[in-house]
Structure 1
Amino acid sequence: MGMKPGPSPKRSTQRRRRNKPDESATAPLVVATVRGTRVKPPSEDRTWHPIAKGWYRSLKESGESAFFEPSDWQAARLCAYAMTRMLREHEDNKTPLRAGMLDTIWSMMGDLLTTETSRRRARIELERAATDAESDPAVPATVTIMNQYRDQLGVDDVGVGS
């Protein structure tokens, strides 16, 4: 995915800058998409391990999943399958979890931007809506970085159809 090595960047609210960021290095890639069309995720496999099912189900409620394409959902299914294989082998054969497989699964999860660190490295921050977000967990998260990019470009709803 082209992520930078090293520690993950801080959230924008925690950063203090003394110099102006290089605009060419952080120029966003604007992709036209139709607002409001959300890809219906495939259902999980009933044979998956409970941890894999829980992770897959959590994706459906996560803010980044609003931008998932069918190929992203299939990548998530592959990740859940690999998770299941590793966890079942661990439970059935009483073998220790393999670090290489854990690293592969964690990398797959990062490629889907399902971890805070991977989103920070991609310069994407999710924020809960301000209206009673603490009391209502059903309030969807928004991707604020896209609005900031639009503001920087000085354009309203770039390539967005109705």
Structure 2
Amino acid sequence: MTRGPVPNRSDDLARPRERKGSDIVSVTKGLSRPASAPMPDPQWHPIARQLWDALAVSGQADFYEQSDWAMAFSLCDDLSHYKNSTKRSGQMLQTIYSAMERLLVTEGDRRRVRIELHEPEDDTEPASVLAIAAYKRDLGLGA
């Protein structure tokens, strides 16, 4: 993970990073294995449960391995303990949030490691195209 400010999205760059003279870091590859999220603890604090449920449906979950789900479970359990506690430590909360960064919970966390989630491609034509086609049809100028 790189430190410093959150990098721009690749779509926002005038040219690719590799053309800007940045070092291209080679990637070591392995096989991904099927992973599934364990059932959340029914005793968790509502905020920890909300975070767990959000992780399960968020785009970064596509990249989660079983160990990531185990770490997320542990962190949600820690967060629940923290939220249910009457005496709270700022250091404990900071530690939990820091660990959550490694699970790429926020957009900034994902952008630091060059992961960008995009909206699914829409197969329908834009409204402007449909409006122009309807206008042409109404004028008898073709389909």
Taking structure 2 as the reference length, the TM-score comes to: 0.74
Q: Is the alpha carbon distance of 1:40 and 1:12 closer, same or farther for their aligned partners in structure 2, counting shifts above 3 Å? A: same
Name 2:141's counterpart in structure 1: none
Mapped partners of 2:16, 2:52: distance in 1 = 41
Report the alpha carbon displacement of residue 115 of structure 1 after superposing the two structures with TM.
Answer: 1.2
Size of the alignment, in residue pairs? Answer: 122
Name 1:145's counterpart in structure 2: none
Name 2:72's counterpart in structure 1: 76
For structure 2, list consecutive stretches of 5 or more residues without a partner in the other structure. 124-143
Listed one character per residue, the Cα deviations across residues 112-131 of structure 1 (whole Å, up to 9, x for unaligned) are 11111111110111112112
Report the alpha carbon displacement of residue 73 of structure 1 after superposing the two structures with TM.
Answer: 0.5
Q: Secondary structure at the match of 2:104?
A: coil
Identity %: 34
Mapped partners of 2:91, 2:84: distance in 1 = 16
Q: Is the alpha carbon distance of 1:27 and 1:18 closer, same or farther for their aligned partners in structure 2, counting shifts above 3 Å? A: closer
Name 1:62's counterpart in structure 2: 58
Name 1:4's counterpart in structure 2: 2
Taking structure 1 as the reference length, the TM-score comes to: 0.66
Listed one character per residue, the Cα deviations across residues 68-88 of structure 1 (whole Å, up to 9, x for unaligned) are 111110100111011011111
Are the counterparts in 1 of residues 49 and 76 from structure 2 also a CA contact under 8 Å? Answer: yes
Q: Is the alpha carbon distance of 1:115 and 1:74 closer, same or farther for their aligned partners in structure 2, counting shifts above 3 Å? A: same
Are the counterparts in 1 of residues 36 and 69 from structure 2 also a CA contact under 8 Å? Answer: no
Listed one character per residue, the Cα deviations across residues 16-62 of structure 1 (whole Å, up to 9, x for unaligned) are 35982346x3335252436xx64121010011111111111111111
Mapped partners of 1:26, 1:120: distance in 2 = 17
Alignment counterpart, residue 40 of structure 1, candidates 22, 36, 40: 36
Mapped partners of 2:28, 2:117: distance in 1 = 18
Mapped partners of 1:128, 1:46: distance in 2 = 32
Which amino acid in structure 1 is aligned with residue 52 of structure 2? Answer: Y
Mapped partners of 1:115, 1:83: distance in 2 = 16
Mapped partners of 1:38, 1:103: distance in 2 = 31
- Root-mean-square deviation (CA), in Å? 2.3
Which amino acid in structure 2 is aligned with residue 122 of structure 1? Answer: V
Name 1:49's counterpart in structure 2: 45
